[in-house]
Amino acid sequence: MSRVKSGKVTHARHRKVIKAASGYYAARSTNFRTATQAVDKANQYATRDRKAKKRSFRALWIQRINAAVRLFDPAFTYSRLIAGLAKAGIEVDRKVLADLAVHEPEAFNVIADKARSALAA
């Protein structure tokens, strides 16, 4: 059986890894072996942080909604707002609520008032 050289395939694979490691410091961007390790670790971080990003944005939205609700009425809290929205049958997600709280406070106050009146009833 004849010998098979894998020069083209190996070179393409190495080039792909080195391209992914461009911008890394020192040998991590030029040496294939260390670049492979660096790229693998970077992909692990990227996979993990895609989930963490969703958590951190949800936490940010909740903080913004809570701050806006307390401006509306200091005794009214985020959890009471969410309970009131559920009772009133208003289905608005936290991302939209936070955006309304920041950019359109009047509209947010109308929604918060409906939630508070649903809790009182």
Angle between helices 105-120 and 32-72 (to 10 degrees): 60
Average pLDDT across each block of 10 residues of the chain; the chain has 121 residues. List them in order.
85 96 95 96 97 97 96 91 95 96 95 93 77
Q: 39-56: per-residue pLDDT in tens?
A: 999 999 999 999 999 999
Q: 18-29: per-residue pLDDT in tens?
A: 999 999 999 999
Angle between helices 94-103 and 32-72 (to 10 degrees): 60
Q: At 81, which amino acid appears? A: L
Rounded CA-CA distance 82/115 in Å is: 8
This prediction's pTM:
0.76
Note whether 29 and 21 are within 8 A (CB).
Answer: yes
Question: What domains are there in the chain, each with its CATH number?
Answer: 7-120 (1.10.1900.20)
